Amino acid sequence: MHAPKRILVAKPGLDGHDRGAKVVARALRDAGFEVIYTGLRQTPEQIAQAAVQEDVDAVGLSSLSGAHRELFPAVVRALREAGAGNVPVFGGGIIPEEDIPALQAQGIERLFAPGTDTREIVSFLRQRLGLED
C-alpha cells in the first residue's frame, strides 16, 4: 500500500473567501488524498515554502478576488525558485474563460470553474499523479 498523495490547497493574496477551497479540500480528503490547507491570505512565497516543507505532490490554488492573473503565475515562479518546479499546480475560483489560456501557458495545468463537480478535480489529480481512477 502506497502512502496517500499529498495535496496543498492554498488561497494566495488578500481574498478572504475560502468556502470553495474548503469544499475541495474535504472532497480530496474523502477521496483518499492527504490535504494540507494553508489558510487565507498567503503570499506566493509562503505557499511555495509550505509545498516544499510538506513535500506535496500537487498544489491547488483558489482565487475569487480577480488577482489570479498575477498570483497564480507568481506561485508557479516561487515553486520553481524553491526547487519544486515539477509540482503540478491547478486552480479554481472566479476565472474568466479568456484568462485560462494565459494561465495555462504560465504553468497552471488545469482550472476549475465555480460549480465544478469535485469528482472532476479528484479524477484530474488521480490521472495527473498516476493513480488508478
Residues spanned by the domain of 54: 6-128
Structural domains in the chain (count): 1
Q: What integer pLDDT is reported at residue 4 of this predicted model?
A: 95
- Judge whether 94 lies within some domain: yes
10, 28 Cβ separation under 8 angstroms: no
Distance between alpha carbon 55 and the CA centroid of its chain, in Å? Answer: 14
- Judge whether 133 lies within some domain: no
Q: What integer pLDDT is reported at residue 87 of this predicted model?
A: 98
- Judge whether 87 lies within some domain: yes
Q: What integer pLDDT is reported at residue 3 of this predicted model?
A: 86
**Over residues 38-57, mean pLDDT:** 96
- Judge whether 1 lies within some domain: no
65-122 tens-digit pLDDT: 889 999 999 999 999 999 999 999 999 999 999 999 999 999 999 999 989 999 999 9
Does the structure show a pLDDT above 80 at 132? no
Q: What integer pLDDT is reported at residue 1 of this predicted model?
A: 61
Q: Dihedral of the CA atoms 28, 33, 34, 38 (nearest 10)?
A: -30
- Judge whether 102 lies within some domain: yes
Q: What integer pLDDT is reported at residue 75 of this predicted model?
A: 98
62, 54 Cβ separation under 8 angstroms: no
How many other β-carbons are positioned within 10 Å of the β-carbon of residue 2? 5
Instruction: Compute CA distances 4 → 41, 42, 89, 123, whole Å.
Output: 27, 25, 18, 15
- Judge whether 117 lies within some domain: yes
11-21 tens-digit pLDDT: 999 888 899 99
CATH code for position 15: 3.40.50.280
